Amino acid sequence: MDNFTLTICTMLVSIMMAAAMAGLYGTSRDEAALPDWIAAMLCFSVSSLLAVVHAYWPLPFLLVPGIANALYLAGHGFIFSGIRQHIGGRSAYNWIAVLALFSLSLHFLPAIATSLDRRIIIFYAMVLALCLASALYILVSRRQCTIGGYTPLLWVLGLFFTQMLLREVAMVADLAGVSVPGSAYLRSAGSLFVMLYIIAIAMAFAYLITWQKAEALRTSALTDSLTGWYNRRALMRMAPQVFDECRNKNQSLCIVILDVDHFKQINDTYGHVIGDKVLQHITVQARQAYGPGKWLFRLGGEEFAILLADTEPEQASSIAEKIREAVNHSPYQYHKAIWVSISLGIAAATAQDVSWEAVLDRADKALYQAKATGRNTVCSDTTLAFTGT
Ligand SMILES: Nc1nc2c(ncn2[C@@H]2O[C@H](COP(=O)(O)OP(=O)(O)OP(=O)(O)O)[C@@H](O)[C@H]2O)c(=O)[nH]1
């Protein structure tokens, strides 16, 4: 395929990808990155359109290559800006404007205006910088999390960056009079690479949005909407893994069950809405008292469980006591202070336990003991020693 045909194809492909991104935006209006990615595709298509028209009716130098190049660069800028927004950063419109104007102004410099090779070398360097910035932004800001849905995007950026770098090296070598094998092919295949890049990156964006939605669904299926703690379904899924992991690593595993005391009275006195607020308040207090641990579950109603991996029973007792105290000493403030207390039962996994359910069952029995002993107390299954008030 000759370059002219490839440029027409690039223009059509960019329009189709812009339409695909717009379709995706129709179903994901809250996704701030999509308008940027639509703008990127439109920039690529108008840039190609100018090149196509120029082949038939020569346009002024300011339009081609001036504005065509600035638009192409802006396209890459919008890709970067969209990625930033998708990860939670701010848009980069100021930078896009500065870069496009800078690129345009370069075309007025005689040394650059008169040399296609110099123009291309400078222009490639700017595209390389934007491509690298996009990839680095993902890698740096996601280093604490899983890369997950960003993987295809990183591959596309990486491959595009590599071929751009090879072309840049070939161009510089040509200019310096050094012959590089495959240099002519690399130079002529530029339009093909751009077209493939536009298709691939649009697909990577679509994959990322779909992956993110699936992740959000997975998370909400495992999360209790009232308290933000994991729900019972999550416990069923995660507890066997935690149990097996502790067993394999020879670590102690404790389970704490906590239950709000006389919660029915709170509902009856203040109504279910305030009852819900009290439950939220209790989980916030418990979470703060406990610290950064992640295995917090709402079993149902006003009953909760905490898995304490790699925690000895004595440590578990002191954590439970800390939680009990925190809840007991911080009433929920409504028109007046609503004082609440919780009872807690603890059990530790033993060598005889074949499953986590056996430990949960003993923790439940310990909780029953705590309720039977007057509530607002911590009861341990192993010792049946009572603490608290
Ligand atoms: N507001 C609110 N109430 C709930 C929710 N889930 C369960 N409940 C209420 O929690 C109460 C639990 O009552 P009981 O099982 O008798 O327990 P209790 O009154 O806390 O008494 P003890 O546990 O024996 O101290 C019931 O009134 C339920 O309607 C919820 O999501 N929100």
Domains of the chain: 3-221 (1.20.1070), 232-388 (3.30.70.270)
Instruction: Determine the pLDDT at residue 293.
Output: 81
Higher pLDDT, 383 or 157: 157
Question: What pLDDT score was predicted for residue 38?
Answer: 97
Closest protein CA for atom 16 of ligand 1: 264
C-alpha atoms less than 13 angstroms from C-alpha of 199 in its C-beta half-sphere: 9
Render pLDDT for 268-306 as a digit per residue (tens, 0 to 9).
Answer: 999 999 999 999 999 999 999 998 788 999 999 999 999
Q: Please give the pLDDT value at position 336.
A: 87
Distance 226 CA to ligand 1 centre (A): 14
Contact call for residues 107 and 65 (beta carbons, < 8 A): yes
Q: 181 pLDDT band (50/70/90 cuts)?
A: confident
Q: Which atom of ligand 1 is nearest to the CA of 375?
A: 25
Residue nearest to atom 12 of ligand 1 (CA): 264
pLDDT above 60: residue 179: yes
**Which region among 183-197, 249-263, 342-356, 363-377 has the lowest average model confidence (pLDDT)?**
183-197
* 3-class secondary-structure state, position 57: coil
With H, G, I as helix, E, B as strand and everything else as coil, classify residue 123: helix
Ligand 1, residues 232, 261, 263, 273: which to mutate, most atoms within 8 A of Cβ? 263
Ligand 1 atom closest to Cα of residue 259: 23
pLDDT digits (tens, 9 = 90+) for 38-87: 999 999 999 999 999 998 889 888 888 999 999 999 999 999 999 999 99
Confidence of residue 387 (pLDDT cuts 50, 70, 90): very low
Whole-angstrom distance, CA of residue 258 vs CA of residue 220:
23
As a whole number of angstroms, the distance between CA 300 and CA 296 comes to 12
- Cβ atoms of 17 and 203 within 8 Å: the answer is no
Parallel/antiparallel/unpaired status of strands 253-260 and 303-309 = antiparallel
Tell me what pLDDT residue 117 has.
86
Position in ligand 1 atom list of the atom nearest CA 272: 1
Six token digits for residue 25? 């935006």
**Phi and psi angles of residue 346, each rounded to the nearest 5 degrees, phi first:** -125, 140
Which pair of tokens denotes residue 286?
């418990």
Whether 388 shows a pLDDT value over 80: the answer reads no
Amino acid identity of residue 330, one-letter, is: S
| Number of helical H runs and strand E runs in the chain | 14, 8
8 by DSSP, 3-state: which? Answer: helix
Q: Please, what is the Cα angle at 134 between 168 and 64, to 5 degrees?
A: 50
Most ligand 1 atoms within 8 A of CB, residue of 261, 264, 279, 281 to mutate: 264
Lowest-confidence segment of 36-40, 208-212, 228-232, 379-383 by average pLDDT: 379-383
Q: Is 136 helix (H, G, I), strand (E, B) or coil?
A: helix
In the block, tokens 């004595």 appear at: 314
Cα(4) to ligand 1 centroid in Å equals 73
pTM (2 d.p.): 0.77
Residue nearest to atom 26 of ligand 1 (CA): 264
Instruction: Compute, in angstroms, the gap from residue 342 CA to the centroid of ligand 1.
Output: 12
Give CA separation, 93 vs 19, 47, 79, 129, 227, in Å: 22, 18, 11, 16, 38
Please state the ipTM of this predicted complex: 0.96
267 within ligand 1 shell (Cβ under 6 A):
yes
Residues 314-334 have a mean pLDDT of 95
Residue to mutate, 274, 277, 302, 340, ligand 1, most ligand atoms under 8 Å from C-beta? 302
Q: Is the CB of 263 under 6 A from ligand 1?
A: yes
Task: State whether the Cα torsion 50-55-61-65 is positive or negative.
Answer: positive
Q: What is the rounded CA–CA span in Å between residue 95 and residue 169?
A: 26
Is residue 252's pLDDT more than 80?
A: yes
Beta bridge mates, 380: 346
| Mean pLDDT computed over every residue of the chain | 92
Tell me which of 186-200, 203-217, 301-315 is least confident.
Answer: 186-200
Alpha carbon of 277 to ligand 1 centroid (Å): 13
> Can you give the pLDDT at residue 93?
96
User: Is the distance from the beta carbon of residue 261 to the nearest atom of ligand 1 less than 6 Å?
Assistant: yes
Q: Give the residue whose CA is nearest to atom 28 of ligand 1.
A: 264
Rounded-to-integer distance, Cα 53 and Cα 184, Å: 25
Mean pLDDT (whole number) for 20-46: 95
> Which band of pLDDT confidence, cut at 50, 70 and 90, is reported for residue 91?
very high
268 lines ligand 1 (CB under 6 A): no
- Which 8-state DSSP code applies to residue 115? -
CB distance 303 to 258 below 8 Å: yes
Cβ of 225: how many Cβ atoms within 10 Å?
Answer: 8
pLDDT range class, residue 382, cuts 50, 70, 90:
low
Q: Which helix (H) or strand (E) holds 300?
A: strand 296-300
